[in-house]
Amino acid sequence: MQAITKANIFTSVFCLIVAISWGQDPNFTQYNNIPIFLNPSLSGSFEGSYRAIVAHRNQGNNQFNEPFVSLYSSFDLRLPIRYDGKILNDAAGVGVMFMQDKNSSIGWNTQHIYVSGAYHKSLDPTNNQFISAGFQMGIIQKSVGYSNVNFEDQFNGTDGYSDPTDELLPSNNFAFSDLNAGIQYSFMTINQLGGFLGASIAHFNKPNQSFYQNNILFVNSITNRPLPIKYTVHGGFQIPVTEKLQIHPRVLAQKQGSHLTGMAGMNIRTILNDVSNTSLHLGASARPTIVYGNDPKIESLIFLLGLELNELLIGISYDAGITPLFNGISGRRNAIELTVTYMGRYNNDDNFCPKF
């Protein structure tokens, strides 16, 4: 009975992960700290010369033996534009990004590698308004391990799953190309009132993500599974309350296939020390979701703690799930996320770049 239960768990996790892989990209709560993945036009969108970011997200500890883990790292540069020997207010951005989404129960692994470029056009002489456009290309690799997956016909009739299977398993490792693009408008006034509005489109080349794509024994609905296009709109404001207190309302909406999700909330930024550029961020938000054919629901409530230490930004957030991830699966999708950002040769806040 223990072997049967273990096999059922592995098979359920396998089916769940494959279902998720056909529906949605990995998501991060601190999406403003995952800029190149959020919107390619954010490559080089910061005040400084270079930016390095790492992030770690762990979710599903309370639902599966092994959690889903998402890892992110990126490095981008902001390059001044020169014309006729003069440095213009415009800038270019270039960046590279690596992301991994994995679950160790069955060796599920998805890796994203991208290069991106953006152009940031200054719209006024004071250099406080920018319109940005960016493009991104990369490769997505998917793999799954079969050693921990058991099927019904492998049961030996007594105490385990030691017999061979007649299941027609596809190749467990393949890759495909991916294309993304985005735009953003941002502004910052002399009294530190700022705002931004961006939009991006991901996977517009609709790559085939089916493990069965090279297997002629299966019908087209299985062998041809295009990765759904993801549409993203995001925006927010920086509103000064006092010289040392700001509020940062934020909103995000994303649609991919039959899934519509988003985040809405607000951060409070308190400047602790002007000289050392030290600030504290406290935030809360909610993540609503809609799946076609189901009622809307609030999936989770999110709490954020962030710290600015001059060029270094450290953020930690917790997703408190309040509704089940899927019908029939108990528990809530809780998650914890850590991000670390370093901006080299940081200058000032004239070009509004949202934090956390």
Domains and CATH numbers, the chain: 2-344 (2.40.160.40)
Quote the CA–CA distance of 311 and 154 in Å, as a whole number.
56
Predicted pLDDT of residue 87: 77
**Averaged confidence pLDDT in the chain:** 84
Question: Is the CB of residue 93 less than 8 Å from the CB of residue 76?
Answer: yes
In the chain, % helix, strand, coil (3-state, to 5) comes to 10, 55, 35
The predicted structure's pLDDT at residue 340: 97
223 within 8 A of 215, measured Cβ to Cβ: yes
Q: Are 283 and 270 in contact (CB under 8 A)?
A: no
State the pLDDT at residue 14. 47
Instruction: Give residue-wise pLDDT tens across range 317-341.
Output: 999 988 765 554 445 578 999 999 9
pLDDT at 344: 87
Q: How far, in Å, CA of 167 to CA of 151, rounded?
A: 8
Please tell me the total number of residues recorded for the chain in this structure. Answer: 356
Low-confidence ranges of the chain (pLDDT < 70): 1-23, 60-65, 106, 148, 166, 168, 170, 214-223, 324-332, 346-352
Residue with token string 């920018």: 130
Cα distances (Å, whole numbers) of residue 167 to 4, 216, 325: 18, 15, 28
Token pair listed for 53 = 């970011």
**Residue carrying structure tokens 């519509």:** 260
Q: Are the beta carbons of 175 and 141 closer than 8 angstroms?
A: yes
DSSP element (H, E) containing 231: strand 230-242
Q: What are phi and psi of 186, to 5 degrees?
A: -140, 155
Exposed e or buried b per residue across 120-143, where buried means at least 16 C-beta atoms within 10 angstroms of its C-beta: bebeeeeebbbebebbbbbebebb
Report the alpha-carbon distance of residue 212 to residue 131 in Å, rounded: 42
Q: What is the structure's pLDDT at 296?
A: 87
pLDDT tens, position by position, 125-178 = 877 899 999 999 999 998 887 776 777 777 777 777 777 776 767 677 888 999
What is the pLDDT, as a whole number, of residue 16? 47
Q: Which of 265, 307, 261, 255 is nearest to 285 (CA)?
A: 265
pLDDT at 222: 66
Write out the two tokens for 336: 């914890």
Taking only Cα atoms into account, the Rg of the chain, rounded to an integer number of angstroms, comes to 23
